[in-house]
Amino acid sequence: ALAAPAIAQSNPKITWRLTSSFPKSLDTIYGGADDVVKHVAAATDGNFTIQPFAAGEIVPGLQALDAVTNSTVEMAHTCSYYFVGKDPTFAIGSAIPFGLNARLTNAWFYQGNGNTLMNEFFAKHNVYGLLAGNTGAQMGGWFRKEINTVDDFKGVKMRIAGIAGRVLEKLGAVPQQIAGGDIYPALEKGTIDAAEWIGPYDDYKLGFYKVAKYYYYPAFWEGGLAIHSLVNLEKWNSLPKAYQAALTDACAYANVNMMAKYDLKNPTAIKQIVSQGTTLRPFSQDILEACYNASLEVYKEISATNADFKKIYEDQVAFKKEGYLWMQLSEYTFDTFMMIQQRNGKL
């Protein structure tokens, strides 16, 4: 048989579908998928086309992993911690309480063992993961009453999922799993007392400031939420190398661009929120300490029965110790000075 011309082989027409776990209305986090598909199309001259679908258009947001594992779609744009029900190890792929900030998340994935370890784990679920977004440290959520002491968490019904929910449960809170669109009415009716979502820009859109007065920070459970492109493993392996490279780099672009979007949009939103009468409050050091200790207990419990979690968690902790050693010197000192100038109106 005649060999096909080499140039044709290297540019096959490929069309994929991507399911996002987010609604289109969240232009920041959903926008990451838009970046990925547009940049892949551009770099491949339109030969590798990925069609993005919002949560619910093909499968619900929380079924994104199954849809990729089972080849319903070729890839998803999602947070791996949505899938802690299958295995808590998925949480480490996005954010765990008192984990890494956004910059150290990138450092662990790109240069530490993050990408290797998480992809060894993802492979068990037939997917390959690429970082494709970050929200930065999120806000600690909306509360209808003040949380001044650790005891104030007792009995608080809070919309918070996954490992963070288990942590707050140890303090007496009652974690609730509620889809994004159902949070507002639940808070309004008092079915729940508190809810965490993302940060100022996304939270303002959902109007939480109308139904809860106190907006706490930080989300100690999301110091830097990583968003992933999860690709069906066989589909990934069958891609031409050039398309793998284009997709890898498109995801890197989406990763840094999403963080940039949040940093552009959150300042305006936090001012809008405060102008509506919201009270901003930091969690007290006592509360953070109690939550930190509760988190260590949860990690010990999970590690006792889950070898994947234990291995990857311990690697990330070792990285974190080193990372925060360096970050507290130069950058933190610089930032602290700049923030003082900012507060004094001197920037």
Residues 189-248 that bind a copy of itself (CB under 8 A): 199-200, 217-220, 223-224, 240-242, 244-246, 248
Residue 249 to residues 24, 38, 78: CA-CA distances in angstroms? Answer: 23, 12, 18
The only residue of 25, 51, 238, 328 in contact with a copy of itself, by rule CB under 8 A: 328
User: In the window 129-158, what residues touch a copy of itself (CB under 8 A)?
Assistant: 136-140
Contacts of 217 (CB under 8 A, 6+ apart): 139, 140, 280, 281, 282, 283
Region from 50-58, 95-103, 118-126, 304-312 binding a copy of itself, contact rule CB under 8 A: 95-103
**Which one, 64 or 104, has the nearer CB to a copy of itself?**
104
User: Binding segment for a copy of itself among 4-12, 56-64, 116-124, 305-313 (CB under 8 A)?
Assistant: 4-12
Contact 141, 158 (CB under 8 A): yes
DSSP letter (8 states) at residue 21 = S
How far apart are CB 56 and a copy of itself at their closest, in Å? 28
Q: Which is nearer to a copy of itself, 125 or 320 (CB)?
A: 320
Q: Which is nearer to a copy of itself, 71 or 336 (CB)?
A: 336
Distance CA 196, CA 216 (A): 9
Taking a C-beta distance cutoff of 8 angstroms, is the pair 124, 117 a contact?
Answer: no
Please count the residues of the chain: 347
For residues 210 and 279, the answer to whether their CB atoms sit within 8 Å is no
Cα–Cα distance, 210 to 207 (Å, whole number): 6
Between 179 and 318, name the residue whose CB sits nearer to a copy of itself.
Answer: 318
Q: Tell me whether residue 83 or residue 215 sits nearer to a copy of itself (CB atom).
A: 215
User: Applying CB under 8 A, does 42 fall inside the site for a copy of itself?
Assistant: yes
Q: Map tokens 């996954």 to a residue.
A: 162
Closest separation in Å from C-beta 326 to a copy of itself: 4
* β-sheet bridge partners, residue 19: 53, 76
Residue 43 in contact with a copy of itself, rule: CB under 8 A: yes
Of the ranges 76-84, 174-182, 301-309, 339-347, which one interacts with a copy of itself (CB under 8 A)? 339-347
Which of 1, 3, 4, 321 binds a copy of itself (CB under 8 A)? It is: 321
Binding-site member from 44, 78, 89, 278 for a copy of itself (CB under 8 A): 44
Biggest alpha carbon distance in the chain? 77
In 3-state terms, the chain is what percent helix, strand and coil (to 5)? 55, 15, 30
Segment contacting a copy of itself (CB under 8 A): 15-23, 57-65, 119-127, 321-329?
321-329
Residue of 23, 27, 252, 303 interacting with a copy of itself (CB under 8 A): 252
- Cβ–Cβ < 8 Å for 295, 97: yes
Query: Would you count residue 314 as binding a copy of itself (CB under 8 A)?
Result: no
Helix (H) or strand (E) holding 131: strand 127-134
What is the Cα–Cα distance from 35 to 299, expressed in whole angstroms?
A: 35
Cβ closest to a copy of itself, residue 125 vs residue 159:
159
Separation of alpha carbons 287 and 257, rounded Å:
33
Question: Which residues, including other chains, have CB under 8 Å from residue 13's CB and lie 6 or more apart?
Answer: 47, 49
User: Which residues does residue 20 pair with via DSSP β-bridges, in sequence order?
Assistant: 77
Q: Which is nearer to a copy of itself, 65 or 104 (CB)?
A: 104
- Residues 17, 24, 103, 311: which binds a copy of itself (CB under 8 A)? 103
Per CB under 8 A, contacts with a copy of itself among 274-293 are 280, 282, 285, 288, 292
Query: Which of 1, 7, 189, 277 forms a contact with a copy of itself (CB under 8 A)?
Result: 7
